[in-house]
Amino acid sequence: MKIWKQITSVLIIASLVIGGVYLGDRLTTRGVSRQKYIKFFEEHKEYDVLFYGSSHVLSGVQPMELWDKYGITSYNLGGHAASLGMSYWVLRQSLKYHKPKVAVLDIYDMYAFDQPYMDISFMHYSMDAYPAGITKFNAVQDLLGGHSTQEKMELLFPFSVYHSRWNEITPESARLAFDKSIMNSNYGSEVRYGVAVPPEIKRVDPDITIGGSEGADEYIRNFVSICREAGVEVCFMRIPYPASQENQMADNRVMKLAEELSVRVIDLMQDDKKSDNLDSRVVNWDTDFVDANAHLNAVGAYKATMYLGQLLRTYYGFTDKRNDEAYSNWNTDFRELYLPIMSANMAAQSDFKTCLMMAAYPEYETEITATKAYDPDEVCEKLSKLHGDRLKLTYIAGIDLDNVQADNIVNYDLDGEPMYESVDISGEIKPVLRMTVKERDTGKVVLDKMFVQ
Amino acid sequence: MIFNSLGFLIFFPIVILIYYVVPKAFQNLWLLFSSYWFYMSWNPVYGLLLLGVTVITYIAGLILGRGSYATWADPDERGRISADFESKVSKKHRNVVEKNISRKERTKRAVLFLALILVFSVLCFYKYSDFAITNLTEVFRHLGISIELRHFDVVMPAGISFFIFQAAGYLIDVYREEIPSEKNFLRYALFISFFPTILAGPIGRAPSLLPQYCKPRDFDFGRASSGFLLMLWGFFLKLVIADRAAILVNYVYANYHELYGWTIVLATMIYAVEIYCDFYGYSIIATGAANMLGIRLMKNFDCPYFSVSVQDFWRRWHISLSSWFRDYLYFPLGGSRCSFLRRYFNVLVVFIVSGLWHGSQWSYIIWGGLNGLYQIIGGILLPVRTLFLRIFGFDKNVLSLKKNPAMSGSMKIYTSIAPITSVVTPWEKSVVDQNRERFDEIEEYDADGGMPWMSEEARRGHLRTGLFGMRIGEGKMTLKSFSMCILKLVRIFITFILIDFAWLFFRAAGLKDALMMIDRVRFNFDAGTLSFSEIYSLGLDARNFWLLIICCLVLLLSDYVKYHGGNMRKWILEKPMLVKDVIIAAAIVFVLIFGIWGNSYDASSFIYFQY
């Protein structure tokens, strides 16, 4: 009797501790990984495509647009600064939940010399959402080989690192920690706001390759074999990016390996003009990047996604499921989650070029009234062209300050250069244009801003 | 492997599990294996050093123990466990000294001398060689002699000061014929390497530890629970208080030249808490772990910051080391039974050596010397202080620790150190005597102090000493008792200030830094800049700072209860099962959430590992 009492006591303590740690974990953990994966875990039907890779994929492919324009179901499992090794382990873990028809792996930086290591803080983004288990343990052992047990623990039990955030808990953060409606509404992808022009880079001959980390080939081969064992078709992809010459040579090496492994490559960096400088038939080098080094902005990602969707449909024969009742939740998510959040994000921008870029989405129509002082530069001109007939530009003598529906405060001038904080344009400073963006279907105004030159 | 590491959290349950599963005859073997594994996980090569010291002292012990009449059946063994066996040791020691030294005795003395030289040479080589070389080079440079002495640049083995002192203590005890030599090598090796204590003590004594390894240990749920609670309390002190305090202290001590003087005062006060919680935390984790293995360790701390004098402080702080120095250095030097000049010289020597034991830096020597000096000055000024207090109507014995229970605080001092004097009422004495038998049975659950054996009646009787000596039990508070209480609080405060000032030398990166910090406090105190926003910029944000303060108050409360004879651990274990379980689980979760551990922090090792 006594021993049972003792055992019960130990079990009660263990249960309470587990419960307490779970609660503490939920309250202190950074939610981005969990939020990214909520929809992925919730979906019961199999995906057509899953995307793997680094931040290039993360910001370069928009599953919701792929759905809305082609009826293809997909999820973006790319991770910030994800190494090839990380993509391999994300594949292994994700296949436990879904077996897509096609797994697409971006080839950026596959031959980085420090494979498979990556910054631990970025590893959390790709791994925290997956529960601890044998696969996760093996992943940590592999990705952090030679690192301290404490660092490995950080990934296996994220509570070991996040508990230090107890001092950041607020009633609001506590509420959000248990709110499942706070999630990645882009089905894993991240939209980037801003416009930057990358430098010109010479194109490298496709036959010139470079050596790289020895483990990289093995990861690529394993990625392919794991997919094939699971009955998943595998495909490589190159998202447009201003690749350095070394990057291009590394990419060339992957292309050759893909040929050897009979893996299809979707190269979005192919250039019709065959010019000496790097270019892409898919995106515009002047308007579609968010930073000078690598990532596509929202409209660049939109273009890449449209092109990719067409190829995926052609190569793999995906049927359009938009009218399939079983997939009605995807239409609902697009209408009620994706679009409102994108509109809200657009309204939150203060840079004219970013607003112009975001408004280029086919879901919107834009009206610009400008004074003669409005003098658009080349990038603005190109962004305006993206709108086609959905942009109406009218020149007037002066902007009416009294009839603005949204903000009349801006932080940036037309060149996207930061001015000083919160310029009140109702005073001495006169606006040169007013931009109004509406949803095409509903006519709802989502942005109404004025900008100074 | 340290206690606050993942390795230990895996290692310890495995050790416990196997320890209680294997046949009892193999328990010591398994413990020895585990202890060497524990020690060698830090640096396998130094396992050989540990083995070497063990073999040397084992053989020396066998030689010293030949022909000895000492037995393990020492009726006063229990007194030794609590480190209060002053009279007995000194008496025996005097007997040895006064005996005619025979030839056999001379041989023994030579063996002891040789063995001690050998083991202390190892300690000196690893700990003091570079310090000595640096200082010698400096001396030569001042004399105009240019000599390039090569530094050894050796990494000091963890815990070397602890296990060498433990081994040396054993040899001296055998030489003094207070204990027989240990014939069983396995048992002796375990005594030296016992993993809970090897890295930072408590420095065990052979008379209390070796007999425990002779008996088989059965699993006892009550003892294991008590040990677990001790460990939990230790982790709270280390992870929640000490390591959080360290963030502020490290920041201020690293950037003191850019900060206001008051920040140094604040950081030094917080350092007093940090080092206490760090070392006390380690000691009770060790004690708890040992308890779970059925081994009792001596108490290492006894509410040191409630000390009413520096002398009192050193009876309550790092008791295992203080008592080691007392028994094996202070008494051989002549102790206090000599001229007052010689006595003060002895005190100074002991404290300077104690400083040197802590580290090979001048700042440690100054720290030790300062503590010695405090006691000498205190001794010299005693007549003046007594006179001063008598003018204000206090009893002539008011400054005596032994004769005034209101001053001595903890009941255990009545029973173990201080003779029962007329100050303790006959009623209190009888209660102590009646409960002595129970105390014998239960003491093993109470290695960290407290008095679970006290009846409610006795407890109330004891609590008549009340708030730091203020007698309130009889329903009236006299002016005298109130004055006593105030006097005691003043003495506690002054003692804390003195001890804390010495801690500045202990913590500073070196003597030069310590002196510069004192200058900074003197000339750039800038009290006007003192504000919470300034405090929050010292490495701990507002929430962390207030959490630290709240936890310090919890510690203060716990020490206060312990000081007055209470035992919070027993109080928890006596609660109904569900209440007890909820308290324990909440404490575990609290430490896990608020503790400084994991990769987001640079988890600190225990401070005393470096000694």
- CB proximity A151 to B under 8 Å: yes
Q: How far apart are CA B252 and CA B250, in angstroms?
A: 6
| Residue B53 neighbours by CB under 8 Å, 6+ apart | B119, B122, B163, B164, B167, B192
Same domain, residue pair B204 and B257:
no
Q: What pLDDT is recorded for position B364?
A: 87
Bridge-partner residues for A267, per DSSP? A238
How wide is the angle at C-alpha B544 spanned by C-alphas B543 and B546, nearest 5°?
65
**Nearest to B514, CA basis, from B269, B255, B253, B267:** B253
Same domain, residue pair B588 and B539:
yes
Which residues of A fall within a CB distance of 8 Å from B598? Answer: 150, 153-154, 160-161, 163-164
Same domain, residue pair B194 and B112:
yes
- Of A433-447, B252-266, B413-427, B488-502, least confident by mean pLDDT is B413-427
> In this structure, are residues A358 and A302 in contact, taking their beta carbons and an 8 Å threshold?
no
Q: How far apart are CA B413 and CA B433, in angstroms?
A: 14
H-type alpha helices, B146-260: 160-175, 185-193, 195-198, 206-214, 221-235, 243-255
pLDDT of B85-118, one tens digit each? 444 445 555 555 555 557 777 888 899 999 999 9
3-state secondary structure of A238: strand
Per-residue pLDDT band at A410 (split at 50, 70, 90): low
CA closest to B578 among chain A residues:
A9
3-state secondary structure of A368: strand
- For B158, half-sphere exposure in the C-beta direction (CA atoms, 13 angstrom radius) is 24
**Nearest to B60, CA basis, from B207, B234, B188, B232:** B188
Which residues of B fall within a CB distance of 8 Å from A8? Answer: 577
- CB proximity B16 to A under 8 Å: no
Domain of B177, in residue numbers:
6-216
Q: How far apart are CA A269 and CA B209, in angstroms?
A: 76
- CB proximity B490 to A under 8 Å: no
> In this structure, are residues B243 and B539 in contact, taking their beta carbons and an 8 Å threshold?
no
- A residues 27..86 contacting B (CB < 8 A): 28
CA closest to B593 among chain A residues:
A163
Per-residue pLDDT band at B244 (split at 50, 70, 90): very high
- CB proximity A178 to B under 8 Å: no
Q: How far apart are CA B318 and CA B225, in angstroms?
A: 25
Query: Within a domain: residue B457?
Result: no
Q: How far apart are CA B110 and CA B115, in angstroms?
A: 8
Which residues of B fall within a CB distance of 8 Å from A16? Answer: 581-582, 585-586, 589
> In this structure, are residues A163 and B593 in contact, taking their beta carbons and an 8 Å threshold?
yes
- Tell me which of B404 and B268 has the higher pLDDT: B268
B6/A28 CB distance under 8 A? no
- Of A100-104, B134-138, B274-278, least confident by mean pLDDT is B134-138
Which residues of A fall within a CB distance of 8 Å from B580? Answer: 9
Same domain, residue pair B204 and B241:
no
**Nearest to B80, CA basis, from B218, B217, B173, B194:** B173
pLDDT of A386-407, one tens digit each? 888 889 988 887 766 665 554 5
- Candidates B541, B585, B603; nearest CB to A13: B585
- Candidates B221, B581, B596; nearest CB to A13: B581
CA closest to B596 among chain A residues:
A164
> In this structure, are residues A60 and A295 in contact, taking their beta carbons and an 8 Å threshold?
yes
Per-residue pLDDT band at B242 (split at 50, 70, 90): very high
Give how many domains chain B has, as a whole number: 2
CATH number attached to the domain at A349-451: 3.30.360
Same domain, residue pair B182 and B273:
no
- Of A429-443, B337-351, B367-381, least confident by mean pLDDT is A429-443
3-state secondary structure of A76: strand
> In this structure, are residues A141 and A152 in contact, taking their beta carbons and an 8 Å threshold?
yes
Task: Quickly tell me which residue has 């002292």 as its tokens.
Answer: B57
Task: Quickly tell me which residue has 């697009």 as its tokens.
Answer: A334
Same domain, residue pair B319 and B204:
no
Q: Based on DSSP, count helices (H) and strands (E) in chain A, helices before strands.
A: 17, 11
Q: How far apart are CA B477 and CA A391, in angstroms?
A: 90
> In this structure, are residues A446 and A346 in contact, taking their beta carbons and an 8 Å threshold?
yes
Instruction: Please check whether the domain covering A31-342 is classified as CATH 3.30.70.3270.
Output: no
- CB proximity B601 to A under 8 Å: yes
Task: Quickly tell me which residue has 């063994």 as its tokens.
Answer: B77
3-state secondary structure of A266: strand
Task: Quickly tell me which residue has 């490298």 as its tokens.
Answer: A204
- Tell me which of B469 and B309 has the higher pLDDT: B309
B600/A162 CB distance under 8 A? yes
Q: What pLDDT is recorded for position B21?
A: 92
A16/B586 CB distance under 8 A? yes
pLDDT of A82-135, one tens digit each? 888 899 999 999 999 999 999 999 988 776 656 666 788 888 888 888 988 899
Same domain, residue pair B202 and B319:
no
The residue from B200, B216, B232 where one domain ends is: B216
Mean local confidence (pLDDT), A206-219? 78
For chain B, helix, strand, coil in percent to 5 are: 70, 0, 30
Same domain, residue pair B278 and B370:
yes
pLDDT of A1-48, one tens digit each? 688 888 999 999 999 999 999 999 989 888 888 888 988 998 888 899
Domain with CATH 3.30.360 in chain A: 349-451
The residue from B183, B216, B249 where one domain ends is: B216
Query: Within a domain: residue B36?
Result: yes
pLDDT of B390-446, one tens digit each? 777 766 565 655 444 444 444 333 333 332 222 333 333 444 444 444 433 333 334
Q: What pLDDT is recorded for position B415?
A: 32
> In this structure, are residues B35 and B198 in contact, taking their beta carbons and an 8 Å threshold?
yes
Bridge-partner residues for A423, per DSSP? A410
> Which are the catalytic amino acids of B?
358
Average model confidence (pLDDT) for chain A? Answer: 84
Same domain, residue pair B42 and B142:
yes
- What is the layout of strands, in order, in the sheet containing A364-370? A391-395, A364-370, A433-439, A445-451
Rounded to two decimals, the pTM is 0.79
pLDDT of B19-73, one tens digit each? 999 998 899 999 999 999 999 987 888 899 999 999 999 999 999 888 777 776 5
Query: Within a domain: residue B512?
Result: yes
Q: How far is A140 from chain B (nearest CA, A)?
A: 15
Most confident of A171-180, A419-428, B146-155: A171-180
The residue from B155, B186, B216 where one domain ends is: B216
- CB proximity A13 to B under 8 Å: yes
The answer on pLDDT for A430 being more than 80 is: no
- CB proximity B576 to A under 8 Å: no
Same domain, residue pair B176 and B262:
no
pLDDT of A214-250, one tens digit each? 678 888 899 999 999 999 999 999 998 888 888 888 8
Same domain, residue pair B177 and B249:
no
A120/B599 CB distance under 8 A? yes
Residue type, A168: E
- Candidates A16, A120, A154; nearest CB to B581: A16
pLDDT of A318-351, one tens digit each? 989 999 988 998 999 998 888 888 888 888 887 7
- Candidates B580, B581, B593; nearest CB to A163: B593
Domain with CATH 3.40.50.1110 in chain A: 31-342
Same domain, residue pair B68 and B174:
yes
Q: How far apart are CA B498 and CA A351, in angstroms?
A: 63
